[in-house]
């Protein structure tokens, strides 16, 4: 049986009754934008993250962009971003009119290397935007330490890390503000687009609240040149249902990740995820590395196992950032050539994980066989 990379329909079916009830509740209320559901979700998610405020917005990219706008970060300013991330982190900075300045990752955790941040700071630097990549928290104490020494803001890109903990504390409250995405494939995913900002800064929350709604707190009074970027009532109602399941679903991911870590250790060439002792990741993705990544992906595909690459091209090599295409960031570039994400999600069964393990073990046997045959041919010649 084929194992898909991620089965989103299964997560609907598991919660069908509650999700359908949420749907009817909103439809019958006749109120679809900025109402009771969004307010309730904002309160529940703020509590979950251990912060004072949550502001629902249209998506994760807007969440990060609106934080920068609310901090008055824009043209002429620089924001330090990871070289190794999804491009949205960089785009948020560019849309605010500021310049993303990449810093290489730690090669073991794939997250921004705090030891390399200082050398990237200039008089124009205003903020650092660490990403909790693949669901694993960045080294926030070290990032915060550099930031406070230089008077910089810290904005967490928490789009892949709903529920993750750093030294026992939930991400999303570890800097000045955090941006979240509820894209369907995320650990806390809506059934469409959605996002949020979390912060304990009253003034910042207030500004984001206005900026997401045409720059207005009071209808037809516009304080800022804002956007229209709101979480809608339907998505908020769905997210409230799924938030109640988040810890349980993250626990399922943890079990599968533990199985992979145990059973895949020692396979030649395969590099498994490294988890520092202060990190409690939520395994948004289970990313392995292999020097023959493309071949491995083809082999798994042949065994009916869906994998994805996060990400095939780093932001500085994208046409969208052609002004940076000549930059050489060797660690990020090497990582992008070798990473492969294995199937992992709340719907994966143990037997399916076993099948993934067997297929990975089979890769080496298949490769040995090939090498053996080649050797035999060489000898015969
Ligand atoms: C998904 C994601 C985003 C963007 O979120 P959207 O809701 O898709 O706009 C930003 N940063 C990271 C690291 C992400 O994975």
Distance 256 CA to ligand 1 centre (A): 24
Stretch (H or E) spanning 199: strand 195-199
Q: Indicate if ligand 1 lies below 6 Å from the C-beta of 85.
A: yes
**Is the alpha carbon torsion for 23, 29, 32, 37 positive or negative?**
negative
Cα–Cα distances in Å, from 85 out to 104, 195, 213, 374? 10, 18, 28, 39
Q: Indicate if ligand 1 lies below 6 Å from the C-beta of 189.
A: no
Neighbours of 13 (CB within 10 A): 11
> N- to C-terminal Cα distance for the chain?
42
Q: Indicate if ligand 1 lies below 6 Å from the C-beta of 86.
A: yes
| Low-confidence residues of the chain: pLDDT under 70 | 368-381
The pLDDT of residue 280: 98
Neighbours of 85 (CB within 10 A): 27
The pLDDT of residue 1: 78
pTM above 0.85, yes or no: yes
Task: Return phi, psi of residue 221, to 5°.
Answer: -120, 110
Of 63, 65, 88, 285, best ligand 1 pocket probe by most atoms within 8 Å of the beta carbon? 88
Compute the distance between CA of residue 199 and CA of residue 174 in angstroms, rounded to an integer. Answer: 9
The pLDDT of residue 366: 75
Tell me which residue of 307, 313, 319 sits closest to 333, measured CA to CA.
313
Model pLDDT for residues 67-113, shown as the tens digit of each residue = 999 999 999 999 999 999 999 999 999 999 999 999 999 999 999 99
Tokens describing residue 197: 């900002």
> Which atom number of ligand 1 is nearest to the Cα of residue 133?
13
Tokens describing residue 70: 């609310």
Distance 233 CA to ligand 1 centre (A): 21
In this structure, the strands spanning 78-82 and 99-103 are: parallel
Contact 204, 176 (CB under 8 A): yes
Contact 154, 147 (CB under 8 A): yes
> Which atom number of ligand 1 is nearest to the Cα of residue 62?
9
Of 86, 180, 190, 232, best ligand 1 pocket probe by most atoms within 8 Å of the beta carbon? 86
| Helix, strand, or coil (residue 358) | helix
Q: DSSP letter at 326?
A: T
DSSP 225-254: ---B---BHHHHHHHHHHHTTHHHHHHHHH
Task: Return phi, psi of residue 58, to 5°.
Answer: -70, -30
């Amino acid at each position: 049986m084929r194992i898909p990379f991620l089965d989103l329909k299964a997560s609907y079916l598991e919660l069908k009754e509650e999700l359908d009830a949420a749907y009817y509740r909103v439809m019958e209320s006749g109120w679809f934008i900025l109402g009771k559901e969004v307010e309730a979700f904002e309160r529940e998610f703020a509590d979950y993250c251990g912060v004072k405020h949550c502001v629902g917005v249209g998506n994760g990219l807007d969440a990060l962009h609106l934080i920068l706008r609310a901090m008055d970060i824009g043209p002429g300013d620089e924001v330090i971003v990871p070289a190794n991330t999804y491009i949205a982190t960089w785009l948020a900075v560019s849309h605010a009119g500021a310049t993303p300045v990449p810093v290489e990752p730690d090669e073991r955790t794939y997250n921004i290397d705090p030891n390399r941040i200082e050398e990237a700071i200039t008089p124009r630097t205003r903020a650092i935007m660490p990403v909790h990549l693949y669901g694993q928290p960045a080294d926030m104490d070290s990032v915060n330490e550099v930031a406070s020494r230089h008077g910089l803001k810290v904005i967490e890109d928490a789009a892949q890390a709903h529920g993750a903990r750093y030294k026992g504390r939930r991400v999303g409250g570890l800097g000045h503000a955090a941006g979240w995405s509820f894209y369907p494939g995320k650990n806390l995913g809506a059934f469409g687009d959605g996002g949020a900002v979390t912060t304990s800064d009253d003034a910042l929350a207030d500004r984001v609240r206005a900026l997401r709604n045409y720059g207005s707190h009071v209808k037809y009074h516009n304080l800022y040149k804002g956007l229209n970027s709101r979480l809608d009532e339907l998505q908020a109602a769905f997210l409230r249902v799924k938030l109640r399941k988040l810890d349980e679903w993250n626990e399922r991911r943890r079990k599968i990740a533990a199985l992979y870590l145990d059973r895949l250790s020692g396979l030649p060439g395969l590099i498994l995820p490294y988890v520092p002792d202060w990190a409690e990741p939520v395994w948004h993705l289970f990313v392995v590395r292999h020097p023959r990544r493309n071949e491995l992906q083809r082999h798994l595909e042949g065994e009916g196992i869906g994998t994805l690459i996060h990400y095939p091209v780093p932001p500085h090599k994208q046409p969208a950032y052609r002004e940076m295409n000549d930059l050489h960031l060797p660690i990020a570039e090497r990582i992008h050539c070798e990473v492969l994400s294995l199937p992992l999600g709340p719907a994966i069964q143990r037997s399916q994980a076993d099948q993934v393990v067997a297929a990975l073990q089979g890769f080496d046997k298949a490769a040995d066989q090939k090498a053996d045959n080649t050797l035999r041919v060489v000898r015969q010649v």
